[in-house]
Each structure stands twice: as C-alpha cells, then as structure tokens.
C-alpha cells in the first residue's frame, strides 16, 4: 500500500475520533480505565454499534488528549484490501506522523485476519493495545489462541436503563420511586426503553434506518461474508422466525421443520453465528446433569429489544415477552440464567456464585386466569431446587403474597430494574 495514501487515512481517522462528541459516560468506563495501567491487551467487545468506538473515544479524549496514542479504524472502506502483512508499513507511517508512541487503539480489528501476531509482538515489546471487536468467536478463538493470558475483556452492551435515563438527563435518587411525579416519569421512560431499546445512535436520532442497517450489516457482513453463507434469503427467514418468537422454547429439530434447512446441524450453526455477533443469546433448562442441559430446548433473547419491532413478522410484539426479554438482559449481567420446566414452567432460575438464588416469573399482568400457572410454576421451581426467593414481575402490579407456605414478591419490572440499577438492591 502507498505510504502517502496510508498517512492520509491515518490523519483523517485521527481527526475524526478527536472531533466527534463523546456523549454520556458508559457504566463500564471505569472498569476499562482502572485496567489501562496493566500490560494486557484490553478488548472491548459487544454488538455492532453498541458503543464500543464511543467508549474508545471517551478514553482517548480523557486520557490521551496530548496526542500520545495511535489509532486505526479497520471499518474504513479504504482499508478493504488491508492484510496483516501491511501492519509494518502502517506502524512506520504512524511513527513518522506522530512520533514514537506506546498506546495503540485498534477499532474493529477483527476484520484483519492474523492481526493477533502483530498485537502480540508489539505487546511483548512493551506497547499497550486497546482493541474492539463485534464477534464472540473473535474472543474465543482468534485472540485466545495467540494472546492466551495476555488479554482482558470488557463487554459493552447497548444502553442499560440507567444509561438511558442518564442520556435523558433524568436524575434518580433512592426516593424517586416514592415521588408521584418521578414515578410517572420513570414508568413512561421505561415503557419507551422497553419498546425502543438502548442502541446509542438510535436513542440519539430515533431514525429506524439505524436499526435496520445495523441488522443488515450483522447478517451480511458479520455472518454471510464471514462464514461464507450463500443463501442469505433462507438465513434471514430463519433469523426472523427466531426473533419473532423470542422468549419461546425451540429446538434445532423444531427449527428444521419450520425452515428450509434440511439439517439440524446447519440450523445449530446458523443460530451460533447469530449468537457470536451478540445479537441474541440462548438459555437452557436447568438440570444438575450437564448432558441433559445441553440437549434441552432453548429460549432465545434479543440483546436489544428495539430491533424486535423492525424484524418481527407479528403486527405487534407481545408486551409480556418484551418485559421478559428486558428481565433476561438484566439478569445475564449478574450471573447465569436458566429456565425451569418439569410438569410446570418457570421463566428464570438465577444462579450466582454457584448457588441457585432466585426464581422469577414474568407476565404483563397477573390476573385470575393466569395466577395458577404463574404461581404453580414458580413454587415448583423453588421447591425442587430449594430456592429461597421467588418473584413475579409484571407491568405495573405490586404486592406481597403468601402462597403454599412461600412468600412471593410481585413487582413492576420498571421498579425492579430501577432498584437493581440505582440502589444496588438484591434481586
């Protein structure tokens, strides 16, 4: 590659990252900053467009304002022909432009096959790397193979409800849930967050094209191109079915019957591809037998609920499912989650520190017709695994109920999320 053209790209990218707004400080910001002094490669990973580059930009603005860093963005279309063999000439160009620096910021470096060798070599020479990537396989294979024990990972999700409120300039205090006006405001914003999600750019601009384009890039660039999937029509149909039926039980065999793929193995691969992009994640039925867990039906959840309305084939998404998806997104950041199914069903079994700590049911409204199902499933899970705490989360109901000798909390999801995010209350 021509060095003068390379220098033009590097200067353009540097000017761009220094001139853009940094927006709100992310919850994971301090986690990254606290580890900057370590020699390990720091990996910021998560869903495409979830804010990894913005977080990187915040770090640069706040800690490298004197220009003592290098930055390369590999999403730049001018680098489409970049290969690992070009790293040396880029390094030379960086030194010629900005002098000898020891901190590298590499954005979406997963696009470059073999980047790990360059990163490892310069890390061993005393340089520091902060890199981003939007594929779980990027962590589990590419980086892990070459950088074993040399990298620290930080997951950057879409905005949490706490971050969403921070963006809205809403201050939440321990008394906020008791103040009538503040309660109303929190409930209104939570309903908006549930439907619209927390993708940063979409939260800012409210342009549906942002979500649809992000999803298209995930399907085409991160999956079809990366894994050489030729029939993207069938791939889209499968993913639309999974997203439309989020929170519902499925097996690879059942998906095979409802799709155009002949093999459950192919279905499993395509589901894994979507999981690798962080767009969805799946949970299994809890069982003390790992083998039984692995062969059980799964439930899929979407990392950001804002995508659901633009991809689902239903005219309106089930509000109870959206609430369940929100609860799953909160729980998964704190421990392991499973569902329970025997003769009865329970939406979530929560495990933390190798202890089954909580059973949760989620429904939009608790009424006379669904009370037996919701309570019986919850009690069955609590009894079978000796779980001390049971909760039913709804849209806007709250009470404490004694049922079959158990104390059950009924809470609005918005209040449960606020308690967890702002007051560090236990589940």
Is the CB of residue 408 less than 8 Å from the CB of residue 378? yes
pLDDT at 212 over 70: yes
- CATH number of this structure's domain 3-156: 3.40.50.300
Q: What band does 65 get if pLDDT is binned at 50, 70 and 90?
A: confident
Ranges assigned E (strand) in 86-139? 103-107, 128-133
Average pLDDT, the chain: 92
Distance between CA atoms of 240 and 232, rounded to whole angstroms? 12
Crossing angle of helices 52-63 and 3-19, in 10° steps, is 90
Digit-coded pLDDT (tens) for 108-119: 888 788 898 999
At 396 the pLDDT is 94
At 114 the pLDDT is 87
Distance between CA atoms of 65 and 207, rounded to whole angstroms? 32
| pTM of the full structure | 0.93
What is the distance of C-alpha 142 from the center of its chain? Answer: 20
Digit-coded pLDDT (tens) for 4-40: 999 999 999 999 999 988 789 999 999 999 999 999 9
Is the CB of residue 166 less than 8 Å from the CB of residue 29? no
Domain positions in the chain: 3-156
Q: What band does 150 get if pLDDT is binned at 50, 70 and 90?
A: confident
């Amino acid at each position: 590659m021509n060095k003068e053209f390379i220098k033009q790209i590097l200067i353009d990218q540097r000017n761009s990252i220094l001139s853009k707004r940094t927006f709100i400080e992310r919850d994971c910001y301090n986690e990254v900053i606290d580890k900057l002094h370590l020699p390990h490669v720091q990996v910021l990973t998560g869903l495409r467009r979830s804010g990894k580059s913005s977080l990187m930009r915040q770090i640069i603005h706040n800690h490298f304002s004197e220009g003592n860093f290098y930055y390369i963005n590999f999403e730049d279309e001018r680098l489409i022909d970049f290969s690992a063999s070009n790293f040396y000439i880029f390094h030379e160009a960086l030194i010629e432009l900005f002098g000898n620096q020891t901190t590298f910021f590499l954005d979406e470096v997963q696009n470059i096959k073999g980047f790990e060798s360059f990163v490892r070599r310069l890390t061993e020479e005393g340089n520091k790397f902060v890199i981003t990537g939007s594929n779980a396989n990027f962590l589990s294979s590419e980086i892990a193979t070459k950088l074993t024990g040399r990298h620290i990972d930080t997951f950057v999700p879409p905005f949490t409800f706490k971050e969403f409120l921070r963006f809205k300039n809403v201050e939440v205090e321990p008394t906020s849930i008791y103040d009538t006006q503040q309660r109303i405001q929190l409930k209104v914003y939570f309903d908006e967050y549930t439907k619209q999600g927390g993708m940063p750019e979409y939260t800012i601009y409210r342009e549906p094209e942002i979500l649809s384009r992000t999803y298209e890039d995930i399907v085409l660039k991160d999956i079809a191109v990366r894994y050489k999937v030729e029939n993207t029509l069938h791939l889209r149909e499968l993913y639309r079915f999974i997203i439309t039926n989020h929170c519902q039980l499925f097996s690879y065999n059942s998906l095979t019957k409802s799709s155009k793929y002949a093999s459950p193995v192919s279905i499993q691969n395509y589901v894994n591809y979507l999981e690798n992009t962080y767009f969805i994640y799946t949970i299994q039925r809890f069982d003390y037998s790992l083998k039984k867990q692995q062969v059980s039906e799964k439930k899929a959840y979407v990392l950001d609920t804002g995508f659901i309305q633009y991809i689902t084939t239903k005219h309106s998404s089930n509000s109870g499912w959206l609430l369940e998806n929100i609860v799953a997104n909160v729980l998964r950041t704190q421990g392991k989650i499973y569902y329970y199914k025997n003769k009865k069903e329970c939406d979530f079994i929560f495990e933390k520190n190798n202890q089954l700590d909580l059973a949760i049911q989620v429904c939009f409204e608790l009424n006379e017709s669904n009370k037996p199902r919701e309570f019986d499933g919850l009690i069955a899970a609590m009894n079978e695994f000796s779980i001390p705490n049971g909760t039913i989360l709804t849209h806007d109901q709250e009470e404490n109920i004694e049922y079959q000798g158990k104390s059950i909390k009924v809470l609005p999801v918005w209040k449960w999320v606020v308690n967890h995010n702002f007051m560090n209350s236990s589940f």
